Amino acid sequence: MNHAHSRANRHLWVELHPLVSRITLGLAIWSIAAMWIFFDHSYYGPLLFAVVTVLVVIFMGLPWILLSSRRDTDERQPRRFRDWVHGELDTASGPIDARHAAIIILSVPVSVAVGFTVFGLLEYLTAIGVLT
């Protein structure tokens, strides 16, 4: 099947599915929780908590501020994520596969959450003497 032909039959979405936003919010909460749990014994803990919390709030707040000025559309979003992911997402540089858009959008929050958890766990285990 021709790639251009397969793209012609796919629905073009202008907004993210709400599940992508919810997953991003959950990952932000995970990142903050990992910092608070694993670095609470540190001398610089309170300063670290403040810096990380502010950075995560900025990371989450900027997209919401920018999206608040988006154009309203009469088009209904699909109820199921499966329907949305099989379409394309309209971006400023042109439409891209919605599945790829979700992966691109979620790659940074997933990396940050997992990284904070791994580094925090390693630092905590070193601080209590399990790792030397």
Structurally, the chain folds into a number of domains equal to: 1
Q: Who contacts 8 (Cβ-Cβ below 8 Å, separation ≥6)?
A: none
Count other C-beta atoms under 10 Å from residue 57's C-beta: 12
54 located within any domain: yes
55 located within any domain: yes
78 located within any domain: yes
7 located within any domain: yes
132 located within any domain: no
Mean pLDDT of 85-103: 93
**Which token pair is 130?**
């399990």
Distance in angstroms (rounded) separating the CA atoms of residues 63 and 32? 18
Q: Specify which residues 96 forms β-bridges with.
A: 89
Mean pLDDT of 97-114: 93
The answer to whether the CB of 98 falls within 8 A of the CB of 84 is yes
At 90 the three-state DSSP class reads coil
Distance of CA 5 to the CA centre of its chain: 31
Residue 6 has pLDDT above 60, yes or no: no
Q: pLDDT category, 36, cuts 50, 70, 90?
A: confident
97 located within any domain: yes
Residue that has been written with the tokens 């900027």 in this structure? 62
Domain span at residue 116 reads 3-127
103 located within any domain: yes
pLDDT at residue 72, as a whole number? 60
37 located within any domain: yes
Q: pTM of the full predicted structure?
A: 0.76
pLDDT at residue 81, as a whole number? 92
The answer to whether the CB of 115 falls within 8 A of the CB of 33 is no
Give the rounded percent of residues in the chain with a pLDDT score beyond 70: 84
